[in-house]
Amino acid sequence: MHIVFVAPECAPCVKTGGLGEVLGALPAAIASLGHRITMFVPYYRTVRLAMETQPDATVPSVVLESVTIPFPERNRFVRVLDGGNHGGVQTYLIDCPEFFDREDVYGPPGENYPDNALRFGLYCRAVLEACKLLGVPDVFHLHDWQASFVSILLHTTYAADPLLRDAATVFTIHNGGYQGMFPPGQLRDLLLPAALFTGGALATDSKVNPFLGALRNSDAVTAVSPSYAEELKTPEYGEGLEKVYRERGDAFSGILNGIDADEWNSAIDPHLAAHYSANDLEGKQECRRDLLHAFDADGTADHTAVVGMVSRLAAQKGFDLIAGAMSELAELDLLLLIVGRGEPELEESFRELAEIYPKHLRVSPEFHETLAHKVQAGADMTLMPSRYEPSGLTQMYSLRYGTVPIVRATGGLRDTVQDGEDGNGFAFTEYTSDALVTTVKRALAEFADTANWQERMRRGMRADLSWKRAAAEYVAVYERAVAAHAAGQSAGRG
């Protein structure tokens, strides 16, 4: 099969969270099963800078000099650049400096650029036009709302296109909390029919909801864990779309993410001060010392539990529970180390909390790859009290690194972390600071018992979290989507 990934982020060049990480690894895992993979990524400024500073820096060659993207007043002309072929994945870059040569990917921290719908609308249209020249796939695999315009365009503007009409679509939801809503006036700029809004097909309150379009129209829809797929069907998690998720029936399923087992391997990780494995844990102590040094906390006693967190600072991640629990956590024998950037109000309140509790909380407000690896290796446990968590990669890195995760049992956290005597971590269900504190106390009690603790560490380290399983599951979904699309087409023709 030929699959086109419509990938708004892709590690290592552009990554604001787990989405970029997934799109840096999953395509190659599917290619290794014998499929042809093409990937389209916007040529953001950060991608250009990353390519220019690589050791083997090259200027990407031009594959298509000018693809016309119509707009009401003046067309835009997009270049398609060759991003290289790595691990069997051919990457193309959509170059439109007016939209993508900007300081940030989606907008300054905590904000969105007001023209994001136009930026990603243009990106999706450019992908369709480029595919007509470079090869139409069997399946367009769309990731999050930024890619949703592909599904919308295929059902409207391009519905009768003889080249594109046989291509199926699979929409993968990495985060149902971001739906890319925009004011109805921008439909005109995107040259999309106003009826999409007035007829209610893409309407949520007074906004156009492109995510809803892909959710309704794609031949198959997946969420990044089975538990999250179930949760999305409920009012608590569905963000107003629970009924639509339920209506999709068997066409909607969950596939748990994997992790890049080469990038996250404590036996060879170049970011670490020492290396270790499940069979030989000794190097982890050196990683702990190195981490404490990085946070200027050298004197921390061995019996003090070092609890790490690497996270976007966003409401989704449950920071309000930690803020509410901080006075009680400060009574315990622990040091919480947070590496996180994001919403300015959260950055401010955690800066203040770190001043109030200097012995128990340190915060590094930056996006820092090396520090993220040091935390995963050097901490004794990690904390992820998420309000919702579609999959979560960070807890899987923790498991792999023998750093015991303490999580709220939701979405992918529920599917990867097991509490109980034979478990690999600790989990709580109720979204309250009390439940968090009680669970942290249980973890600390076991931490004091080295033999039991190390058993729990090892159980996490031995789990197979690689992409192989997920890749095979996606191929099965592609096959179902192709069949569903063909059935829909022949019904339409009949």
Site for ligand ADP, rule CB under 6 A: 17-19, 21, 310-312, 339-341, 367-369, 372, 391-394
Pick between residue 163 and residue 463 the one whose CB is nearest to ligand ADP: 463
Q: Name the β-bridge partners of 96.
A: none
The candidate with the shortest Cα–Cα distance to 215, out of 160, 162, 144, is: 144
Distances, alpha carbon 379 to alpha carbons 168, 258, 312, 441, in Å: 45, 22, 18, 17
The dihedrals phi and psi of 246, each to the nearest 5 degrees, come to: -65, -40
Buried (b) or exposed (e) across 36-52, using 16+ Cβ within 10 A?
Answer: bbbbbbbbbebbbeebe
For residue 311, the partner it binds in ligand GLC, ligand ADP, none, with Cβ less than 5 to 8 A by kind, is: ligand ADP
Helix (H) or strand (E) holding 140: strand 139-143
Residue owning tokens 């180390």: 337
CB of 471 to ligand GLC, least distance (A): 14
Pick between residue 16 and residue 277 the one whose CB is nearest to ligand GLC: 16
List the end-to-end C-alpha distance of the chain, in Å, as a whole number. 26
For residue 304, the partner it binds in ligand ADP, ligand GLC, none, with Cβ less than 5 to 8 A by kind, is: none
CB of 13 to ligand GLC, least distance (A): 17
Can residue 398 be called a binding residue for ligand GLC (CB under 6 A)?
Answer: no
For residue 224, the partner it binds in ligand GLC, ligand ADP, none, with Cβ less than 5 to 8 A by kind, is: ligand GLC
Pairwise CA distance, residues 327 & 306, whole Å:
17
Can residue 17 be called a binding residue for ligand GLC (CB under 6 A)?
Answer: yes
CB of 150 to ligand ADP, least distance (A): 21
Can residue 389 be called a binding residue for ligand GLC (CB under 6 A)?
Answer: yes
Can residue 391 be called a binding residue for ligand GLC (CB under 6 A)?
Answer: yes
Give me the residue whose beta carbon is nearest to ligand ADP.
18
- Convert residues 212-251 into a mask of x (bound to ligand GLC by CB under 6 A) and - (unbound): ------------x---------------------------
Residue type, 125: R
Pick between residue 18 and residue 42 the one whose CB is nearest to ligand ADP: 18
Residue 117 in contact with residue 186, Cβ under 8 Å?
Answer: yes
Tally of helices (H runs) and strands (E runs) in the chain = 20, 17
- In the window 138-197, what residues touch ligand GLC (CB under 6 A)? 174-175
Residue type, 400: R
CB of 315 to ligand GLC, least distance (A): 12
Residue 171 in contact with residue 148, Cβ under 8 Å?
Answer: yes
DSSP letter, residue 419: -
The count of other CB atoms within 10 Å of the CB of residue 262 is: 10
Can residue 410 be called a binding residue for ligand GLC (CB under 6 A)?
Answer: no
Residues near ligand GLC, by CB under 6 A: 17-19, 22, 174-175, 224, 257, 389-393, 412
